Amino acid sequence: MTARVLMVQGAASSVGKSIMVAALCRILKQDGYRVAPFKSQNMALNSFVTKSGGEIGRAQAVQAGAAGIEPTVEMNPVLLKPQADSTSQVIVLGVAQSVTDAADYYKDNHKLLPIIADSLAKLKRVYDVVVIEGAGSPAEVNLMDREIANMRIAELAGSPVILVADIDRGGVFASIVGTLALLPLRQRRRVKGLVINKFRGDISLLKPGVEFLEKRCRRPVLGVVPYIRNLAIAQEDSVYLDERRSYIRQGYPDVCIIRLPHISNFDDFDPLETLCNMRYVASVEKLGDPDLIILPGTKGTISDLLFLHKTGLAAKIIEKAKAGTPVFGMCGGYQMLGWKITDPVNAESEVSEADGLGLLEMETVFGADKITSQVEGKVEAGRGLLAGMQGIDVAGYEIHMGRSRGQQSGFVFKITESVNTPSSYDEGGIDRTGMVFGSYMHGLFNNGEFTRKMVHNLCSLRDLPLPEGAALDRDKAYDELAAIFRQSLDIDGLYKIIFGGSHGRS
């Protein structure tokens, strides 16, 4: 069978394209197809490291998980990671190539098209179906002649397009009609169906609107997808944090995650949600008296560290830590826990030095090199929040600039297997009490035994009952997502768009 393609584009950013692609990948997998995701150019702070050590957008790793396959750099050949100084790091086929501003990038981004085309061709040779995700909106008239993420890619792939719009924000009819009206005729013809996403309420009340769209746009509305609460699938955009609601359950640990201005890989903490109450806060007033404070990863470490000092959060976190509140730092958040961060080569920002929180006996120096590696190891520390956890197996991935030195009180992990780094080394840092620790290991809380034991230790230290929740089951979450989309969409209509009238293995 010749590989088929389907592209999901959005009437705006954050309309649910990533989640829809994940759902379609799962549905196609369930129906017996070899399917892969693809996004030519992704701008995101959430990223993932492949087995080869290449860095791609986290959304494509999630979509590959839904498809039941290993993520590869071809699934996201171009990744842009915004930095604190209005520039972006440009990552091509998993490797950081340059740092540039938008104007310079758009002057030369057409040179990336052969790499994009080659990546897509490789996927098409291996899989039955490639589901392509667009970026933002295809109707950005100021970028139409320079974009390499929407209709130009649909034309390159010869792909039909499904247009998705978010009704929860309002203006869904205008956004769909307006998007189609702004597209040149040849591109408009590629749009074969419409999907309304994030609907709340009685769907029968939407019937006149659906009929209007089908008559006005002369395209079928393939479905209306409900607003999905407590979605256990990693979200790509930090807009999700604005929409996210905290659900407070009596007796569960209160985990406070500091919402840094350039927060990245916030899905690191999703597995904690089944065992803890989680809050994202950005001010001293909302910090309260949590059972655990988490400093997450960031693409602007020094900038966000200065934000902590300016807002008073740094002083409050130090105060809480000295009073016995456990504090954990992930990646950039881990670097902030030390004495100082220096960036002599301005690898991340124009600010060359900033004082850390001084909660760990270490300092971090940024260099020009970037570490990207999948890792495996065992817990080495065994006190405080990690009491009784020595020897527990862990696995994850590192993505960071900078190297931290001077953890005189001990390390958290012994890394035994890695890609692009020494095969065995000590990782992370922990203070003498065991109540402040940090690590570069993204994906840490996906290790069920580690997470359950750490939360149980937290409950014992804070005199809380042990939580009853189970560890997050990613496969179950993908199946639940697929079930919602199967119920909401005209799957036969989608298959006709993909396969040109029928589908099947014959």
Cα atoms in the Cβ-side hemisphere of radius 13 Å centred on 244? 24
Distance CA 102, CA 91 (A): 14
What is the amino acid identity at position 258?
A: I
Of 198, 191, 185, give the one whose Cα is nearest residue 214.
191
25 part of the active site: no
Residue-wise DSSP of 131-194 = EEE--S-TT-TTTTTT-SSSHHHHHHHT--EEEEEESTTS-HHHHHHHHHHHS-HHHHTTEEEE
Reduce the DSSP state of residue 402 to 3 states and report it.
strand
CB-based contact 330:295 (threshold 8 Å): yes
State both tokens at 203: 């769907």
Radius of gyration of the chain (CA): 23
**Residue burial 458-478, b: 16+ Cβ < 10 Å; e: rest:** bbebeebeebeeeebebeebb
Distance CA 141, CA 137 (A): 10
* Structural element, H or E, at residue 277: strand 277-281
User: 262, 400, 442, 456: which is the annotated catalytic residue?
Assistant: 442
Residues in the chain: 506
Q: What are phi and psi of 185, to 5 degrees?
A: -55, -45
- Between the alpha carbon of residue 321 and those of residues 386, 456, 460, the distances in Å are 16, 19, 17
* Residue 503: CB atoms within 10 Å: 19
* Structural element, H or E, at residue 45: none
Determine how β-strand 297-298 pairs with β-strand 263-264.
Answer: antiparallel
331 part of the active site: yes
User: 25, 217, 256, 331: which is the annotated catalytic residue?
Assistant: 331
Residues tagged active-site: 331, 442
